[in-house]
Structure 1
Amino acid sequence: MLIGLFGCSDAFAQVDLSTLDRRMAGPPTQVLVLGSVHLSGLPKDFKHDSLAPVIDRLAAFKPEVITIEAISGEQCDLAARHPAIYGAQGMAPYCRKTDAAKAATGLDAPAAIAEAHKILKHWPAAPSPAQRRHLAAVFMAANDKASALVQWLQLPQAERRSGDGLDDVLVASLEKAMLHNDESLQIGARLAARLGLQRLHATDDHTGDNVAIADEAAYGKAVQTAWEAAAAPMGQIHEREEALIKSGDMLALYRYVNRPDVLRTVVDGDFGSALRDTSPEHYGRLYVAGWETRNLRMVANIREAFRERPAARVLSIVGRTHKPWFDNLLGQMQGVEIVDAERVLK
């Protein structure tokens, strides 16, 4: 019996899916993953105009779907409804309150999400300013400020005012968002508006990385100790990034952080070092498990974003450490071709 179970290796051979789409009808979906620094960590006086060369090159790629590293309104609502799983505050660090938008529109988050889907399904080719203001208000109520900003930016300056569901509070919030250091807004929303897209797709996911740790202090110490072992090469990368940021050459910065050799060093310094942690509890492996679960769910969300758009060009803007996972996982999808970020940013 043992011979029958283990002696025949062919019975356990994996099915190779890499050539399944070899004779697929039509062109592949092209996916460009842009690894980004988190602009929120930059000084408040950071010049957003310095991102123009980056946006120009992304615009030349002509993405038809843009995804961002943000929690969707659906997931924010889900977490709030399950405090036993996600805590009393849900995902408060990642989800803003929608009370002001609800007061202005009369819509809670689920109703606003449904309304946004309904509006977009029948969206005209040449929407009026009133329609854009109304959709922006609905997006705000749906906890999707980034998509609301996409609508706001496509309004003529004279039409950026209250009305059609937007009150003065929501207008002030959108005006503030235009100045916020956030790659989802300063790259994603501005690029989408420039290309005439109607929304962004929030694809971050924190439902699977809330790892249950009995001794959080010990866990934190173990992971920090592992990181310190890789401090030298990581320090060199951070120094180079800081120099590029200080110079104001954001195109050079984005070229640098998307280089494969730089990404390999970053990934090894973070997750490779964690996997080498020798704590009896395997804290480092728990850390990596949470990270990989998050990436798997994020990639599934990205795949959903272009599910009905075969052969589309897709841009995914995400923190640069996610990029190797995204490239690998999305590259396994049928009919998907990963675009070289270095080539696009040349």
Structure 2
Amino acid sequence: MSFSKRMSRIKPSGIRAVQKRIAGKSDMISFAAGLPDPALYPLEDLRKAADTMLEKEGATAFAYGLTKGYGPLLDYLTDRMNNREHVECTKENICILSGSQQGLGLAAMTFLDEGDVVITENPSYLGAINAFRPYGAEFVGVDTDDDGIVIEDLERALEENPKTKMIYVIPNFQNPTGKAWTLERRERFMEVVAKYDVAVVEDNPYGDLRFKGEPLPHLRALDKKGQVIYLGSFSKILSPGMRVAWTCASKEVATAFESLKETNDLQSPELTQMLTYYYLKMFDLEKHIEEIQVVYKERCELMVEMIQKYFPAEIKYTDPEGGMFLWLELPEGLDSDAILDDALAAGIAYIPGESFFSFDGVKNTIRMNFTMVKDDQIRDGIRILGDVFRKHIG
């Protein structure tokens, strides 16, 4: 049988490749994960919520529901976006998703034609790049600094690429770098994109994981033209396996997502949507988030402290104010993928940074995760990794 051209454009995940190499090695210290700590899932509260849900709803929880989503959860999210996130919206602007990854695929189906250009941060989330790639999109990467996407480079990219259809960004604790945009950078970004007929996908899976500083407005809250497609998720604060996320966008885009979703998976599972709603109704989500923030803050700060103590001074690193990752930049000429062999032999895993770019060639970068490692693993792992790096830096 003959596969479509789309299949030939899909590239293997660099993250999955590393996970396969360390599978079953229980003694491996892994900084390669991209997951929330399962020890922080509110399992007991979810059990109680499930018991109450089944008692009250019965077989309804196992039946079909609306493609748009479970009504009470839609009401909750509308209230959350208006009052907590300061985004003016109604239920017409919301559509429940089976994970925010589905939102990336729906955005690609909604906007991208063969040869269209997608602008991303440089580097960016490889799952988004792979979601857009099958539709024949071409990519333009725009560099970031400590304040966020570089506006001058963005303006140049938009001017030089008139076929730009979509911009994909993660303003809060970006995967893979952990960087967060400043308020000024967010405002300037929206001023620039407002001049163009372009959709902006604002991916926000990590926004609730801020453990330093004050929350900043989402791009969607600064949007005056209806360009921003906001993607929110419960995966990093409740459970990734429940696959409950949502989009908040213009009525036209939300309706388009709903129509495409009907052909894609018909609906997100009614069971997990209802469980999420009952948990939210019965328990204090904000308190639970604060507990997660405390743990991740301690682990991130310990990792930065150990990097300062054990890594060669030539290695640059980010110091995140939230999220799940930090980013290493090794001296020019080093290949983090080649060094990984020595790291794995020493019992340490990480994700080489090359696959987070929409083009090949940036080999001296590394993504490090701090949410899935305990304190003693951070101390030992960073010390051992420092020795591996020192060997290659000489």
TM-score, length basis structure 2: 0.27
With a CA cutoff of 8 Å and minimum separation of 6, indicate the structure with the bigger relative contact order. Answer: 1
When Rg is computed on C-alpha atoms for both structures, the one with the higher figure is: 1
Considering fraction of residues, name the structure with more helix: 1
Considering fraction of residues, name the structure with more strand: 2
